[in-house]
Amino acid sequence: MNPVLEEDEEYDNDDRYNRPLLRKVSADKKRDKSTVIDFSNNDGPDDTSIQRVYLEEEDLNILLVGYKFNRYRLYIYYILCVLTGGIFYLIGRWIPKLWVWSVGNVCELGKAEWVVVKNQWGDVSIEHVIRKYYGGTISSVFPVDHPEDNNVSRLASYRTDDILHNLHFFDHRYIRFIYNPILGKFVQNNFWKDPTWVSVKMLKKGVNRETRNEREIIFGQNLIDIQEKSTAQLLIEEALHPFYIFQIFSIVLWCLDEYYYYATCIFIISVTSIITTLIDIKQTMKKLREMSKFICNVRIFRGNLWRYVSSEELVPGDVFEISDKHLHIFPCDAVLLSGDCIVNESMLTGESIPVSKLPIDDTSLHILDLTTTNVRPEVAKHFLFSGTKIVRVRRAKSGITSSSADVGNTSDDDGALAMVVRTGFNTTKGSLIRSMLFPKPHKFKFYRDSFRFIGVLAIIAAIGFLISTYNFIRLGVNAVIIILRALDLITIVVPPALPATMTIGTNFAIGRLKKEGIFCISPTRVNVGGKLNVMCFDKTGTLTEDGLDVLGVRFINQTSSRFTELHTTVDTLSKSDSNTNNYSIPPILCAMTTCHSLKLVNGELIGDPLDLKMFDFTKWILEESGQGVSSGALDLPASSTHSGRPSSPTGAGGIVPTVVRPPNSRQFDLAEVFDADGKNGDGKPTPFIELGIIRTFEFVSSLRRMSVLVKRLRNQTIEVYVKGAPEVMRDICRADSFPEDYDELLHYYTHNGFRVIACASRSFTDLSWMKAQKIKREQIEQDLEFIGIIIFENKLKPGTASVVETLKRAKIRQIMCTGDNVLTAISVSRECGLINKASKVYVPRFAQGSSLSSRASILWESLDNPKDSLDSTTLKQIISVSQDFPSEYPFIGPYEYDLAVTGDVFRWIIDYGDEMTLYRMLVKGQIFARMSPDEKHELVEKLQEIGYCVGFCGDGANDCGALKAADVGLSLSDAEASVAAPFTSRNMDISCVIEVIKEGRAALVTSFSCFKYMALYSIIQFTTVSILYYYGSNLGNLQFLYIDLFLILPIAVLMGRTEPFPRIHPKRPTASLVSKKVLTPVIGQILIQSGIQFLVLIIIHNQPWYRKPTFNPNETDIKNFDNSMLFLLSCFQYIIIAAVFSVGPPYRKSMFTNVPFIITAAFFTLLNAVILISPSNVVVNLLELENIDYLFRWYLLAIVIADFLISFFMEKYVFDVISRWIGTVIDGSTKSDKKMFKKILAEMDAKEP
C-alpha cells in the first residue's frame, strides 16, 4: 500500500470551501499553538512511516511519508526510461506519484532516505534526508520548556541528556525538520527556544564556541539565501513542460510532413517564449535574492571577548552590539538587552512610522513566545526584527538603563546590546520571503475549466484520429502518410498556440494598468479581478488621508463648569486661560507638548502621526540631550531640592533626555538669574519656560492611554500628564473634575467621525527623581484631574466617495476593515457612502464575560437607539410591537441594517461562537473595527470560505497578511512589503480599484473570446481537413501557412486589444467555460460553420463542372474543387467568428474602437474576396487553387455574407435565449445557488410570517 497515492477526505483539494475536517483541524491547532504535531493513531497502517504536521504559520497541513530506494525497482525504472525513449521519464516527472511508486518503498521515518511531502492542495514534493554528525545532547536540539506541551510527558520518560550522535533532517519550504529519535517524528526547528533564557542577566553571557558550533548544525547559517537554479536547469524544466513537449512533437510532425514554414515560425515563437520566461524568472529571483540576502559584520560577545564576525555566523543566544557604527540593518531577530533604539519596520509591516524599542525585562522575557512569527504586543517593544533599518541607537547609561558591565567587558560597558533569538528563514523576514515564494494557491474556475476544455478537444482529436485512420486504411493510403495525417489532426484540434492566446487579454490589461501607475506581479490575478464581488478597504491611508489633523482643543471653563469654545489655533488657546500670566501655560497645552513618544533624529521629529500633528499644533520646540538643550538645567538630584550649576549646553551628562519649550524662547542661562526667587534686576520674572520629560509610560493598547512625568524649570513639583481614549478617563479621573457637558460633547464628536483624545493631569510635590524612576504606573494614573479634549479629524481622500458610489452601483459589496475605533469607522463609512445614512448600525458588546471566556455572551445594540437589538444567534432584528415603520418607506423597513463588528467580538465568535452566526455576521458586517493584522487576514479567509471572491485594498501598513490572502490584493504602498500583493498602485487613492476591476473584467471576457475563437478555429479547420481526408485530399502547406500564421495569429492577438468599458456593470461576467452561456454559442457556431461547409460541399458536388479529387495512395491531391472551395470558405469563417466573438459592452468597448483589429479584419476580408473573385496567377499557383466557375465565386461570396448574418443574429439574439431556456429545463424549480453567502443572505432577508 502506498499512502501517498491514496486520496483521503482530509486531503481532497477539489473544493477549498468543502473541507470541514481540515477547517476543524486548522481551528484546533490555532487555539493550541504549542501542539505542532498530531500524535493521534490515525496516521495509517504504519504510524512510524507516516506523520501529519500542521504548519500554523502558513495554515498548511502536510503529510510526511518516509521512503527508501528499492534497488530493483530503480533499475527497472531506468530500463523503462531507455526503452520508451524518455517518455516514461517525462510521465514520472509530470506525475510524481508514479515516480515514487516506481523507485521506492515506504519505511520508518528514522530510516528514510527521502521523504514525500504532500499538502492539502495535492502538491507533492520529494525532500532528501540529510545525515550529519552532531555530538551534542538530545535536549540541546529538542528542549523541554513548555509544561503545557502534550509531548512533555512522553519526553520526560527518556533521558534527554543522552548524546545524539547524528542529526537526520530535511528542509521543506525553507523550514528545517529534524528527526526526534524519542518521539519517532520530525520536528520543526523554527519554534526552538533555550530553556535557560529566564533572566536578562543570563542572556548577557552569550554562548561559547562549542555551543555556537552545535547550534549552527541545528539552524544552519544566518542567511536568507534563496536557492537559485542555474540557467541550464531552468531551461530544461521549461522545455520539459507538457506544453512545450507537445510543441516539440508538433514541430517534428510538421517537419516530417514538409510543413517547414509554420514549423519554423512556431519554433521561433517557442524559443522566444522560453527565453522570455527564463529572463523573467531570473529577474524575479534576482530581485527576491537582493531583497532577502543580507550579510554584514557584527560585533559579538563570545567566549568572554568582543570580536567582529560575519552575520552569517550568528546563532540563537549570541549577544551583539547594536550601537556599533557599522551596523545599519538588523541581520536577525533579536531582543534588546540594554540601551534603546528607533527602527524603521516598513520592510515587514509597510508601516513607515519609526518605532521605539526598549530593553527587555524578565517579565517580558518569560512571555516571549517563538512558536509564531507574530510577536505579542507586550514583547514587540523589545523585539528587533530581522531586516528592519536602524534609525537611531542610544547606549545604555549608568543610572537609567541596565548596564552591559555584567558582560565582563569594561571597554564597552555602555553599549546597546541585543541577543539573537531567531536566524535565517526562521526570522519574521524569512517568513515573509517564504510567503512570497510559496503563496497559497488561488483556484479560479476559468483556468480549471480551460484545461477541461482542452481535454474535450483532445478527446475530439482522438476520435478524429481513429476515424481518419480507418478512412485512410479504407482508401488504401500509405502507412507513413496515415500516421502523419492522423497525428496532424491532433495538432489541428489542439493547436499549440492555444495556451498563448489565452494570455493575450491579460497582457494588454497589464500594459494599460502600468500606464495608470498600477503594477502587477501576478498576471493570473488580473482575470480574477473581473470576478470580485466584495472589496475590503483599510481606512487610514486608504479611504482617508494618512494622518489626522487637529481640528481644535476644548478645555474646562472653571466659571461655568462646562467646555470652552473650540480653539483652532495655539494662540487663542494660550490667551484663553484667565488664570495664566505671560510666563505660564494652560495644563492642556502642557499635555500636548509633553505627552507623546516623539524622537528627534537628525534634526527631524519622528513618531506616531497623531503625536506629530498634536505637537505641530502647539508650535513648540523639542530638544534632546546632546543636541543643544540645556539639559543640566533640568537635572534632578536624588533629593527633592533643586540646586547646583547646570552643565554645558551641549553636555551629554544630563539625565533628562527630552525638553520642550515655547517658540522663540531662549534656553535657560544661570548667569541671567540673580536670586533664588527668579527675579532679575528689574524685579520681573525671568522669561524662561522649559518642560523636561523625565519618564514616559508608553501607550498600551489594553489600557488605551499613555502618561509622562514632567519637571518644570525652577519648580519643585513633578507633574503627571495622561492622554488616551475618553472612555477610560472615567476610571482614572476624579468625578468632580469633569464638565457638565462631557457626555453630550463626546457623543457629538465621536458620532460625527472625529477622533477625540482626552487629557488629564496630576501634581506631586514630594516626589524625588529616584522615586519617579521607581514609581509604578498605576500609582500615578489615578485620582487625576480632567483637563480637556483634543479633537482630530480624519479627512476623506478626494476620490473616495465617488469610487464607493461607483462600486455600489456595480453591486460590489464594500467592507471597511480597520484597526481604528468603531465609532470613527462608522462615521467615515457614512460620510463616504459605504453604508446608507438611513440604515441602522448595530454594534456588539460583551454583556457577560470577555473575549477570553467561552461562556461570554454578546449583545448587539443599535448605535442610535440602545433599546433596539438583534437576536444573538440569528442576528435578526428583534422587532417590538410598538415600533412603527412608515409605510411610505417600505425599503427602510426593519430589514435594512448593517453590522459594525469589533475585533474582540470577531475573535470570540470564531473561537467559541456558532458557525452559522459567524457566517451571518460575515454577510451583514459592513465594518470591522479594532482588527489586528491577523484578524484582517482571517476575515479575508472566512469571506472566501462562504464563496466570496475577495479583494483587499490597503496602504501596506499591517495589511500584508490580508493582501496575500485576498483573491486580489492591491497595495497603495511603495514599501518593500507591497511585493507580497499582486497589484501595487503608485496612485495613493482607491480609484485604482476601479481600474483593476474594469481591466479584470475586460481581460476575463477577452480570454473567453480568444479561447472560444481558437476553439472554433480548431473545429472549423478540423471539419475542413476531415472532409478532405474523406476524399483523400488535404490542405496544402501554403494554405495551412496562410491560415495559421497570416490570418489567425494577428486576428487572435488584436481582438484582445479592445479596451474595457468605462462603466462597471452590476452583473459580473461568467468565469466558467462549461457554463450554458458559453457552451451554447460555441456549440451553436460549430453547428452553423460546419453546416455551411457541408452545404457548400453538397452544392458544389451538384455543379456540372465539378470534378472529383484524383486519389493517389502515395501522394495527396491538393489542387481540386473540394479543397479550393472549403479553403476559401473557411478563410472567411475565421474572420466571421472573430467578429462575432469580439464581445463589446457591458465589459468591453465596441470592437469598432479597436482600430488595429478592424483594419486587420477588413484587410483580410478584402484580401480573401480578391482571392475568391479575381486571384492572380501567382496566388493561384502558390495556394494550389482550382479554376472555379466565375458566377459560382459570387454565389459563394453571397453564402459567406449569409453566414455572417446568421452567425451574428444567432449570437446576438438567439443563443442567449436558448441558454436561459436550457437552464430552465435542466434546473427547473429546484435551482439553487452554489454560493453559501447568497443562501445566508436570502435566509436573513426572508420576512418572518
Predicted local distance difference test score (pLDDT) of residue 701: 66
Q: How many residues does the chain have?
A: 1249
Are both 297-437 and 445-516+1002-1230 of the same fold? Answer: no
Rank 384-388, 515-519, 994-998 by mean pLDDT and report only the highest: 994-998
For residues 383 and 1074, the model is more confident at 383
Mean pLDDT of 208-225: 92
Q: What is the predicted pLDDT for the residue at 657?
A: 73
Close Cβ partners of 931 (under 8 Å, ≥ 6 residues apart)? 817, 818, 819, 903, 906, 939
d(CA 751, CA 796): 16
In which band, very low, low, confident or very high, does the pLDDT at 348 lie, cut at 50, 70 and 90?
A: low
Q: Which residue has the higher pLDDT, 683 or 987?
A: 987
pLDDT of residue 889: 40
Direct distance between the N- and C-terminal alpha carbons of the chain, in angstroms, rounded to an integer: 58
Q: How confident is the model at residue 148 (pLDDT cuts 50, 70, 90)?
A: very low
Architecture of the 534-545+797-986 domain: 3-Layer(aba) Sandwich (3.40)
538 catalytically annotated: yes
Between 7 and 58, the more confident residue is: 58
**Mean pLDDT, to the nearest integer, of 1197-1219?**
94
Angle between helices 915-924 and 903-912 (to 10 degrees): 150
Q: How confident is the model at residue 582, as a pLDDT?
A: 41
* Residue owning grid cell 503608485: 986
Cis ω for the linkage preceding 1146 (within 30 of 0):
yes
Which of 45 and 1115 is assigned the larger pLDDT? 1115
CATH number belonging to the domain at 549-793, selected among 3.40.1350, 3.40.1110, 1.20.950, 3.30.70: 3.40.1110
**Alpha-helix runs per DSSP H in 661-759:** 726-732, 742-750
The mean predicted confidence, pLDDT, of the chain is 82
The predicted pLDDT at position 588 comes to: 94
Q: Quote the pLDDT of residue 553.
A: 95
* pTM (2 d.p.): 0.76
Domain boundaries along the sequence of the chain:
3-189, 231-286, 297-437, 445-516+1002-1230, 534-545+797-986, 549-793
105-119, 589-603, 668-682, 700-714: lowest mean pLDDT where? 668-682
Task: Note the pLDDT tens digit of each residue in 233-248.
Answer: 888 888 888 888 888 8
Residue 459 has pLDDT above 50, yes or no: yes
pLDDT on residue 995: 96
- Flag whether pLDDT at 700 surpasses 80: no
pLDDT in tens, 769-790: 888 888 999 999 999 999 999 9
Top-confidence residue, 684 or 80: 80
* pLDDT recorded at residue 886: 45
The grid coordinates of residue 15 equal: 473544493
Residue 1, pLDDT above cutoff 70:
no
Q: Is the pLDDT reported for residue 688 higher than 80?
A: no
**Residue 765: per-residue pLDDT:** 87
Give the Cα separation of 30 and 54 in Å (integer).
Answer: 10
How far apart, in whole angstroms, are the C-alpha atoms of residue 132 and residue 762? 64
Does 951 score more than 90 pLDDT?
Answer: yes
pLDDT band (50, 70, 90) for residue 660: very high
Predicted pLDDT of residue 881 = 47
Q: Is residue 988's pLDDT more than 70?
A: yes
Q: Which three cell numbers stand for residue 296?
A: 554584514
Residue 955 has pLDDT above 70, yes or no: yes
- The per-residue pLDDT for range 751-775, each reduced to its tens digit, is 777 889 999 999 998 888 888 888 9
User: What kind and span of H or E run contains 528?
Assistant: helix 524-529
Question: For residue 651, what pLDDT band results from cuts at 50, 70 and 90?
Answer: very low
CATH 1.20.1110.10 is right for the domain spanning 445-516+1002-1230: yes
Distance CA 354, CA 1034 (A): 73
Cβ–Cβ < 8 Å for 495, 458:
no
- At 98, the amino acid letter reads L
Model confidence at 455: pLDDT above 60? yes
Structure confidence at residue 993 as a pLDDT band (50, 70, 90): very high
The residue that leads in pLDDT, 979 or 851, is 851
Percent of the chain with pLDDT over 90: 41
Nearest to 932 by CA among 1041, 819, 1026: 819
Judged against a pLDDT cut of 50, whether residue 1090 lies above it is answered with yes
Q: Do the bridges between strand 840-848 and strand 897-902 make them parallel or antiparallel, or are there none, so unpaired?
A: parallel
pLDDT at 1244 > cutoff 60: yes
Write phi, then psi, for 624 (nearest 5 degrees).
Answer: -120, 160
Cell of 291: 531583497
DSSP states along 949-1004: -EEEEE-SSS-HHHHHHSSEEEE---SGGGGGSSEEESS-STHHHHHHHHHHHHHH
- In whole angstroms, what is the distance from residue 44 CA to residue 50 CA? 7
- What pLDDT does residue 978 have? 54
Q: What is the pLDDT of residue 575?
A: 64
Mean pLDDT of 427-443: 79
Choosing from 257, 538, 989, 1117, which is the catalytic residue? Answer: 538
Residue 178 in 3-state DSSP?
A: strand
For residues 228 and 25, the model is more confident at: 228
pLDDT category at 1072 given cuts 50, 70, 90 is confident
For the cut 70, the answer to whether the pLDDT of residue 965 exceeds it is yes
Reply yes or no on whether the pLDDT at 17 is more than 70.
no
Instruction: Tabulate helix, strand, coil % of the chain (nearest 5).
Output: 45, 20, 35
CB 1000 within 8 A of CB 532: yes
> What per-residue confidence (pLDDT) applies to 399?
36
Residue 529 banded pLDDT, cuts 50, 70, 90 = very high
Over residues 888-938, the pLDDT tens digits come to 444 444 558 999 999 999 999 998 999 999 999 999 999 999 887 778 888
> Is residue 1092 within 8 Å of residue 1129, measured between CB atoms?
yes
Classify domain 297-437 by CATH number.
Answer: 2.70.150.10
For 827-841, what is the mean pLDDT?
Answer: 89
pLDDT band at 644 (very low <50, low <70, confident <90, very high): very low
Which residue would you say has higher pLDDT here, 1032 or 956? 1032
Band (pLDDT 50/70/90 cuts) for residue 351 is low
pLDDT at site 508: 92
799 phi, psi to nearest 5 deg: -95, 0
